[in-house]
């Protein structure tokens, strides 16, 4: 709970700093505050937590692990933001504050023990993101991104809220344990509206995580939003969405998996094919990452479809690997776009000759996203596939392997552009803080790939 309090108070402090024109103090205070929140979260590890505030919240190892990875990912993205928001507006305190407010919603999302808190967490996060997507006031693409995200987000919230209402109508409670007990004590006469509620919740959550066929907002929103905001949405937000998804279904709906598992299996297969095949045809690096994020949503769905004791750990490992690799990719995109003015894959042509460090870390990122061995991405896919095989989901694994092969083509296209295509270009200037974030992220990606035990048994 201390972590949530610190992250909630910190944006208010930042707004006061902005009011008194202490612009240079904003980023250091934000990073320090986030590190304090991170320490508070780690101190609660193995604390034998119980639901608090009348069962509204549960800060156990599951929520702590996802809170930690969300905070670390946010810190890395904020470190890349030095000098970034100043180019958009002189009032940058608001941007840091809104990002932290969205992080408050994310912590609530991964720590809820009551469906009302799930809804509150999602709305706190979503409202903040609607604003962040459109922070470029005179940019049509950014404004369009914010509007689409707002409209589609409101649409998905309707499904989610109606589903929660039907669950309450059947079980008489919003509490996850009470809902589970209702299912267990009524194995043969569960109210039909309960099943309808489960399906509506699936639709609402699939909208939030960008799973097909509810993905149509994702490419345009990701492309139109500022690159660092896109990085935040595709990493921290997606990881939190799947943590919330898994917590609900493992805690309350596991005993009726025979009902919802086939539905999620179909969604998973559709998501994988749409994400990977569409990414093949993208010339824009940023839009390719957007469709790539859809395909990764499909891989993350494996842990829920093949629900088991190891599902939480599988989602945690995969989400960590995906987040770190994506931060590298978006950081490299920001630097290259500043030089070339374009986000096309061709903008990376010949990068290895002038910037071997940047080309190397981006190569590590692409290899990890493709799931190549000795990277964290491979370990993440290995856990997902292993869990599915233990549940005899052979068709899903075959489909996933085929899609993994497809993804190699568009990830390696970036590597080929950097190392095997020539172009007249100047050296990209890489600030020291970018070197730290990109180097640290690449090192962690390789370390997890070589020594997966570093994080593979935390939850």
Helices (H) and strands (E) in the chain, counts: 19, 0
For residue 112, the cross-strand partners are 57
Which residues of the chain are modeled with pLDDT < 50?
none
User: What integer pLDDT is reported at residue 170 of this predicted model?
Assistant: 93
Distance CA 194, CA 165 (A): 9
Contact 111, 120 (CB under 8 A): no
Contact 300, 254 (CB under 8 A): no
Tokens of 3: 């972590």
φ and ψ at residue 424, rounded to 5 degrees: -75, 115
User: What integer pLDDT is reported at residue 143 of this predicted model?
Assistant: 80
Cα 274 versus chain centre, distance: 19
For residue 344, the cross-strand partners are 284
User: What integer pLDDT is reported at residue 459 of this predicted model?
Assistant: 63
φ and ψ at residue 284, rounded to 5 degrees: -80, 125
Q: Phi-psi region for residue 225, left (φ > 0), alpha (ψ -120 to 50) or beta?
A: beta
Burial class (CB in 10 A: 0-12, 13-18, 19+), 1: middle
Distance CA 437, CA 163 (A): 41
φ and ψ at residue 342, rounded to 5 degrees: -135, 150
| Predicted TM-score (pTM) of this structure | 0.93
Cis peptide before 229 (omega within 30 of 0): no
Distance CA 287, CA 305 (A): 28
Contact 351, 417 (CB under 8 A): yes
User: What integer pLDDT is reported at residue 146 of this predicted model?
Assistant: 84
Distance CA 365, CA 437 (A): 13
Tokens of 446: 């390789």
Cα 406 versus chain centre, distance: 22
Residue linked to tokens 């559709």: 270
SS3 171: helix
Distance CA 200, CA 161 (A): 9
| DSSP-assigned letter for residue 445 | H
Distance CA 245, CA 237 (A): 12
SS3 218: helix
């Amino acid at each position: 709970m201390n972590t949530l309090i610190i992250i909630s108070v910190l944006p208010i402090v930042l707004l006061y700093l902005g009011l008194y024109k202490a612009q240079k103090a904003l980023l250091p205070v934000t990073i320090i505050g986030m590190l304090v929140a991170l320490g508070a979260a780690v101190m609660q590890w193995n604390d034998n937590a119980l639901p608090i505030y009348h069962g509204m919240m549960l800060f156990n190892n599951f929520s702590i692990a996802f809170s930690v990875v969300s905070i670390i990912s946010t810190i890395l993205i904020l470190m890349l933001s030095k000098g970034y928001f100043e180019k958009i507006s002189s009032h940058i305190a608001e941007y840091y504050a809104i990002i932290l407010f969205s992080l408050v919603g994310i912590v609530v999302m991964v720590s809820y023990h009551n469906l009302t808190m799930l809804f509150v967490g999602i709305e706190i996060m979503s409202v903040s993101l609607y604003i962040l997507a459109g922070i470029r006031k005179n940019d049509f693409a950014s404004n369009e991104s914010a509007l689409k995200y707002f409209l589609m987000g409101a649409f998905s919230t309707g499904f989610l809220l109606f589903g929660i209402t039907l669950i309450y109508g059947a079980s008489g409670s919003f509490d996850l344990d009470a809902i589970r007990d209702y299912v267990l004590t009524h194995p043969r006469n569960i109210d039909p509206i309960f099943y309808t509620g489960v399906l509506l919740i699936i639709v609402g959550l699939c909208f939030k995580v960008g799973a097909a066929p509810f993905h149509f907002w994702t490419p345009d929103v990701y492309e139109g939003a500022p690159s660092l905001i896109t990085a935040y949405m595709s990493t921290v937000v997606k990881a939190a969405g799947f943590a919330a998804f898994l917590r609900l279904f493992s805690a309350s709906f596991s005993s009726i998996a025979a009902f919802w598992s086939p539905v999620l299996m179909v969604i998973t297969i559709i998501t994988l094919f749409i994400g990977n095949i569409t990414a093949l045809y993208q010339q824009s690096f940023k839009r390719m990452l957007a469709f790539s994020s859809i395909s990764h949503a499909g891989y993350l769905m494996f842990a829920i479809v093949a629900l088991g004791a190891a599902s939480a750990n599988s989602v945690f490992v995969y989400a960590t690997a995906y987040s770190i690799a994506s931060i590298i990719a978006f950081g490299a995109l920001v630097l290259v776009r500043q030089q070339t003015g374009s986000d096309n894959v061709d903008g990376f042509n010949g990068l290895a000759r002038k910037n071997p460090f940047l080309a190397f870390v981006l190569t590590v990122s692409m290899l990890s996203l493709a799931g190549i061995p000795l990277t964290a991405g491979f370990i993440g896919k290995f856990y997902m596939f292993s869990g599915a095989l233990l549940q005899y989901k052979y068709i899903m694994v075959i489909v996933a392997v085929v899609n993994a092969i497809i993804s190699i083509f568009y990830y390696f296209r970036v590597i080929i552009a950097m190392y095997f295509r020539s172009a007249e270009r100047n050296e990209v200037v890489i600030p020291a803080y970018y070197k730290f974030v990109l180097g640290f992220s690449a090192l962690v990606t390789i370390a997890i790939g070589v020594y997966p035990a570093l994080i593979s048994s935390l939850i």
